[in-house]
Every structure is written in C-alpha cells, then in structure tokens.
C-alpha cells in the first residue's frame, strides 16, 4: 500500500489516488517563502499535474487562506488519442488557475510541463 491522497474535483466526486502511481509532472505555487514551507504556510495557492503511466492526467489546485474560504479545483484529462492530452492538459491548467483566481500560476505550471519533442 502506498501513500494515498484524496483530490477534490470540480465537476465530479473526489478521487483517491496512490501518489506512487500518479507522480507530479508539473507544478506551480505561490506562498510566503519567508514563513516555512508550502505544507506549513497558512496562506498559499498551488496547481499540480499528475500523470498515470497509462497517460491519464489529473490537474488540480487549491487556494488556502485564513481570511476566506478555501477553494479547490480539479479535472481528469483522459487520453483520447496520442498527443491529444497535451491541449486538454493546458486547458485544464488554465481552468484550475482561473477557479483559484491565480492566472499567473497557469503560465508557470504550463511551462513546467515536460517538453514536447518536435520532429
């Protein structure tokens, strides 16, 4: 048994995954780095992309603040045909960052995705 987490989704019930089967392939965050780590920060935003070996991706994020309600967003990107997941992943990243009201995280997360090889 690995380390499981539950991810709150935007348009479906939450999903539970084993992080060993879904490694992070891209991420962007914003928090006060002078006050500890992301895990201990009282206020932060994060957008992550995890990928399963079968090609599916989960794009999700969270905004935490003691001054307002926490916001969660998440989307599953299915593999339709080879290469189709890239555009859908970018779209999902932009949607998550928009829900969190941190569009700058979208750009940062998109640029953190693995580079495509052009031939």
Average pLDDT, the chain: 89
- The CA distance from 108 to 101, in Å, is 14
Instruction: Tell me the per-residue pLDDT of 42-53, one tens digit each, with 9 for 90 and over.
Output: 788 999 999 999
Residue with the bigger pLDDT between 2 and 55: it is 55
Task: Compute the Cα dihedral for 75, 79, 80, 85 and give only its sign.
Answer: positive
In contact, 2 and 19? CB cutoff 8 Å: yes
Give percent of the chain with pLDDT exceeding 90. Answer: 67
Q: Give pTM, 2 decimals.
A: 0.88
C-alpha distances in angstroms, 82 versus 26, 54, 113, 117?
19, 11, 16, 13
> Can you give the residue ranges of every domain in the chain?
4-112
């Amino acid at each position: 048994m690995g380390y499981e987490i539950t991810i709150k989704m935007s348009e479906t019930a939450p999903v539970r995954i084993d992080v060993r089967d879904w490694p992070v392939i891209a991420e962007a965050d914003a928090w006060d780095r002078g006050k500890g780590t992301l895990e201990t920060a009282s206020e932060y935003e994060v957008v992550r992309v995890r990928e399963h070996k079968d090609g599916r991706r989960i794009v999700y994020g969270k905004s935490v603040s003691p001054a307002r309600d926490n916001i969660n967003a998440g989307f599953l990107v299915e593999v339709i045909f080879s290469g189709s997941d890239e555009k859908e992943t970018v779209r999902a990243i932009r949607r998550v960052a928009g829900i969190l009201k941190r569009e700058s995280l979208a750009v940062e997360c998109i640029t953190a995705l693995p580079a495509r090889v052009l031939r």
